[in-house]
Amino acid sequence: MMDIKLDPSQDDLPLMANTNHILVKHYVLDLDVDFECQVIEGTIVLFFEDGNRLKQWSSSSKETCQMEPNEACTLRTSEPCHIPVTNARSSSSKMEYNNFAICGKGDRDISDKDGNHDNQGQVSGISISKYCRDTETHGREEFLLVLDCCDLSVLKVEEVDVAAVPGIEKFTRSPKLTVISEELRNEMVRELVALPADHWREQLDYFARCSQAPSCGELFFDTDNWSLRIRKTGAQTATDFPHAIRIWYKTKPEGRSVTWTSDQCGRPCVYTMGSPINNRALFPCQEPPVAMSTWQATIRAAASFVVLMSGENFAKPTQLQEGCLSWHYYVTMPMPASTFTIAVGCWTEMKPETDSPRDLEAERFLPPSEPDFRHVAVCSHMEYPCRFQSASATTQEIIPHRVFAPVCLRDVCQKTLLPLIPLCLSAAHSVLGTHPFSRLDILIVPANFPSLGMASPHIVFLSQSTLTGMSHLCGTRLCHEIAHAWFGLVIGARDWTEEWLSEGFATHLEDVFWVKALQLSHPEAREYQELRACLRWHRLQDELHNSTEDMQVLRPRKEKTGQVSDSGACVVKHGLNPEKTFMQVHYLKGYFLLRFLARTLGDETYFSFLRKFVHMFHGQLILSQNFLEMLLENIPEEKKARAVY
DSSP state of 90: H
Residues 6 or more apart whose Cβ sits within 8 Å of residue 346: 263, 265, 267, 268, 269, 304, 305, 306, 406
Q: What are phi and psi of 449, to 5 degrees?
A: -60, 130
Segments in 580-621 forming alpha helices (H): 585-601, 603-617
- Tell me the sheet residues that pair with 454: 461
Tell me whether the omega of the peptide bond preceding residue 276 falls within 30 degrees of 0, making it cis: yes
3-state secondary structure of 111: coil
Amino acid identity at 449: F
DSSP string, 491-536: EEESSTT-THHHHHHHHHHHHHHHHHHTT--HHHHHHHHHHHHHHH
Query: Which of 339, 292, 615, 621 shows the shortest CA–CA distance to 458?
Result: 339
Contact (CB, 8 A) for 601 and 632 = no
Active site residue 481: yes
DSSP state of 297: E
Torsion of CA 515, 520, 524, 530, to 10 degrees: 0
Contact (CB, 8 A) for 418 and 403 = yes
Contact (CB, 8 A) for 209 and 26 = no
- Where would I find the beta strands (DSSP E) of 337-382? 342-345, 348-350
3-state secondary structure of 422: helix
DSSP state of 450: S
Residues 6 or more apart whose Cβ sits within 8 Å of residue 180: 161, 163
Identify the active-site residue in 142, 287, 312, 481.
481
Contact (CB, 8 A) for 575 and 496 = yes
Give the residue numbers annotated as catalytic, written as ranges: 481
